[in-house]
């Protein structure tokens, strides 16, 4: 993030799950959908780490997956209301396809 500021760029959130970079001159650069998805998932992972930092055990992989899947449902509703389900699928489908290949157990609500 510090490198962006050194280049005269600043991140700007257009929508909660979309990252754009705005240059000082006002030009906006939209990241590719794969990069958007990676950044979105990484932000959720950092949030989970911050929520669990005080506990003796770190958040599990299963907990992270459950957190992401909860947010994906909300994102699907948001994209649907905007009439942009194809954008939703283009952005998150590779991740959802990968999730289908995993064995995920129940995670307690702690």
Concatenate the DSSP letters of all residues of 32-64 into one string: PHHHHHHHHHHHHHHHHHHHHTTSSSPPPHHHH
Residues 47 and 18 in one domain: no
CA 21 – CA 4 distance, rounded (Å): 9
Per-residue pLDDT of the chain (110 residues; tens, 9 = 90+): 445 445 554 444 334 445 455 555 666 655 566 676 677 777 777 877 777 777 777 777 788 788 888 888 888 888 888 888 888 888 888 878 888 887 766 655 54
Residues 37 and 13 in one domain: no
**Residue 44 belongs to domain spanning:** 32-110
Residues 57 and 13 in one domain: no
pLDDT of residue 72: 84
User: What is the count of structural domains for the chain?
Assistant: 2
Residues 82 and 56 in one domain: yes
């Amino acid at each position: 993030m510090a490198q962006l500021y050194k280049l005269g760029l600043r991140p700007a959130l257009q929508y909660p799950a979309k990252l754009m970079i705005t240059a000082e001159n006002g030009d906006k650069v939209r990241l590719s959908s794969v990069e958007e998805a990676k950044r979105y998932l990484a932000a959720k992972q950092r949030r989970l780490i911050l929520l669990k930092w005080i506990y003796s055990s770190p958040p599990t992989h299963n907990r992270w997956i459950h957190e992401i899947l909860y947010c994906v449902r909300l994102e699907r509703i948001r994209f649907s209301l905007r009439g942009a389900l194809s954008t939703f699928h283009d952005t998150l489908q590779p991740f959802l396809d990968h999730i289908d290949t995993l064995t995920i157990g129940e995670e307690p609500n702690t």
